[in-house]
Amino acid sequence: MVTETLALWRDAERCYRVVTARDSRFDGQFIMAVRTTGIYCRPSCPASTPKVQNVRFFPTSAAAQANGFRACRRCLPDAVPGSPDWNVRADLAARAMRLISDGTVEREGVPGLARRLGYSERQLGRVLTAELGAGPLALARAHRAHSARLLIELSELPLTDVAFAAGFSSVRQFNETIREVFATTPSQLRVSAASRRGRLSDVTGTRLSLRLPFRPPFDASGLLRFFADHAMPGVEEVTSETYARTLRLAHGTGVVRLTPAPDHVRCELALTDLRDLGSAVSRVRRLLDLDADPAAVTRVLGADPALAPLVAAVPGLRVPGAVDGEELLLRALLSEVPPGEEVPGEWGVTRLFPTAAQVAATGHPVAAALAEGRLDVHVGRDAADLRAELLAYVDPSTADYVVMRVLGAPDVLLADDPAVRRGAADLGIAPDSLGERARAWTPWCSYAGMYLRRAAG
C-alpha cells in the first residue's frame, strides 16, 4: 500500500513547510539533512531553519547517514517516535524495518533477515535501497548506533562492553560508527550525558530507565484498563498508573515497568543481558502502539457521525500490540497454561510465560505446531500469509485478532467480537452492517474496533 506517509519525504515543498513550522507531529516520519552543515535533524529541530536550497529529505536516519550526514546533537533525531508507516504498510520494506528494530540482523545477520522475509539477500538489498535509501546493513548500523547511544548515556557499562552489547563486532567498528553518526567519541557522549543524567535516567547496574516518546494525544488509561482486563498473574502486574511484565528475549530475560506521563512513557528495564536492550524497547513500543499517528486516525474516524463524539471524547486511543507472537496466540486460545520459569521477583511479577514447547507438552496442537516450526508468528510476517497459515489451526476471528496485535495491523476490524458488536449497537450502528461500514474507516479499522469496544463499556 502506498500511503500519504510514504510519499511525504519525497514531497520537498511539504516537508519544508513542516520544518519551517517545527511541527513535532512529523518527528520520526522523515529526516531533514542540511548540506551546508553536514548534519541531519528531526523536523522540529529548534535550530535556525536552513534555506530551502540547502536541505534534503530522507525517509530514515540510515539513508541520511549513508549519504554522509551525521546526527544533530541538539535535537537527537533518533530519540523520536518511529514512523507509523511501518504498521500502515504491509510491504517488504515495512516488514524488514520491524525485524531490524527487533535486532534480527544483530542476531542472525542479513542472511537471517532475508530468510525470515522469504527473499534473497540481493532482492532484499535492492528493494530496501530503492524504498528507504539504504540497504539492510546500513539500516541495522543505524539501529546499532541508536542502541549504543542509549547504553553510553544511560548506563555505567564500560564502553568496551557497550560496543558488544549494542551488536558491534569490534571496538574499532563501534568507535568509528559513533564518530561518523554523532560527530563525537563514545567517551565524549558519556561526559555530555552526565550533565543531563538527572533529567534523562536513573541507572543501577543492568537497570535502565528510559523516556519513550509518542505523538500526543495518548490514551494511557484505556491501555491500562485493557491490560488489567487481560492480565496473567505472575507474568503481568497492572495498577491504575503502571504496567509491569516479564519478557523472554533472545539473550536472556527481562522485566519492564511502564508508567505513562504527559509527554512520554517512563520505561524501567531490568535485563539479564544488555544485548537485548534494543529488542526490548522495540517490543514495548509495539505493545503500547507508541508509533501511531493519532491525528491521521482522528481525521478518518472523526468524520463518521456515529463515531465522532467518542473520538472527540477519547483522543489518542491506541491498539494494544504484543511483545511476543507465540505468547499472544497461545493466550488467545488457552484459559490455563502451565507455569513458566521463575524469575527474580520485580515489580510484582515472578515468572515468564511458558514456551511453546512447554505448552506443547500438555498435548495442545497449536503449541506443538509452534514448537516444531510449522507455524511461525513474528513481526516480519506478511499479514495475508500469516492469516492464511493461522487458519489451518484457528478460526477466522482469532486469526484476525493475532494479525492485528502481533503485526500492529491498523486496518483489521474484529466484526464478530461480541464487545465490538455491542458497542456498534449502542452507537446506532447495525452490527451486521459493520463490514460495509468499515469501508469508510480504512485504513484505521483496528482503531474503530477499539472505539466500539470502548462504547460497549
Instruction: For 320-387, give the DSSP string.
Output: ---S-HHHHHHHHH-S------EEEEETTEEEPPPPHHHHHTTT-HHHHHHHTTSS---TTS-HHHHH
What's the pLDDT score for residue 90? 67
Across the strands, what pairs with 244?
A: 237, 257
Q: Are 2 and 85 in contact (CB under 8 A)?
A: no
Distance of CA 224 to the CA centre of its chain: 18
Q: Sorting pLDDT into bands at 50, 70 and 90, what band is 78? A: confident
What's the pLDDT score for residue 7? 54
Q: Are 295 and 215 in contact (CB under 8 A)?
A: yes
What's the pLDDT score for residue 196? 61
What's the pLDDT score for residue 202? 44
Q: Are 448 and 424 in contact (CB under 8 A)?
A: no
The span from the CA of 366 to the CA of 372, in Å, is 10
DSSP state of 244: E
Across the strands, what pairs with 135?
A: none
Q: Sorting pLDDT into bands at 50, 70 and 90, what band is 151? A: confident
Rounded mean pLDDT, 220-242: 97
- The edge-to-edge listing of strands for the beta sheet with 253-260 is 207-212, 265-271, 253-260, 243-248, 236-238
pLDDT tens across 25-40, in order?
889 999 999 999 999 9
What's the pLDDT score for residue 397? 97
User: Which three cell numbers mark 127?
Assistant: 528493494
DSSP helix/strand/coil, 432: helix
Q: Which H or E run includes 182?
A: helix 171-182
Q: Sorting pLDDT into bands at 50, 70 and 90, what band is 203? A: very low
Burial 254-271 (b: 16+ CB within 10 A, else e): bbbbbbbeeebbbbbbbb
Residues labelled catalytic: 41, 417
Q: Are 219 and 318 in contact (CB under 8 A)?
A: yes
pLDDT at 99 over 70: yes
Question: Look-up: residue for cell 536552513?
Answer: 50
Strands 55-58 and 31-34: antiparallel
What's the pLDDT score for residue 441? 97
pLDDT at 15 over 90: yes
Q: Sorting pLDDT into bands at 50, 70 and 90, what band is 1? A: very low
Rounded mean pLDDT, 9-16: 92
Average pLDDT, the chain: 92
pLDDT at 4 over 50: no
CA nearest 120: which of 110, 131, 132? 110
Question: Look-up: residue for cell 528507504?
Answer: 132
What's the pLDDT score for residue 86? 74
What's the pLDDT score for residue 81? 85
Q: Sorting pLDDT into bands at 50, 70 and 90, what band is 42? A: very high
Nearest 5°: CA angle at 118, between 412 and 88? 30
Q: Which H or E run includes 207?
A: strand 207-212
Share of residues in the chain with pLDDT > 90 (%)? 79
pLDDT at 205 over 50: no
pLDDT at 66 over 70: yes
pLDDT at 158 over 50: yes
Nearest 5°: CA angle at 217, between 420 and 227? 45
Q: Are 287 and 319 in contact (CB under 8 A)?
A: no
pLDDT tens across 303-353, in order?
999 999 999 999 999 999 999 999 999 999 998 999 999 998 889 999 999
Q: Are 5 and 293 in contact (CB under 8 A)?
A: yes
If you write DSSP's letter for every residue of 263-330 in order, what string do you get?
Answer: S-EEEEEEES-GGGHHHHHHHHHHHHTTT--HHHHHHHHTTSTTTHHHHHHSTT------S-HHHHHH
Q: Residue 104's CB: how many other CB atoms inside 10 A?
A: 26
Rounded mean pLDDT, 132-156: 89
The span from the CA of 130 to the CA of 267, in Å, is 35
Least confident of 88-97, 284-293, 406-415, 439-448: 88-97
Residues 6+ apart with CB under 8 A from 432: none
Rounded mean pLDDT, 363-382: 96
User: Which three cell numbers mark 128?
Assistant: 530496501
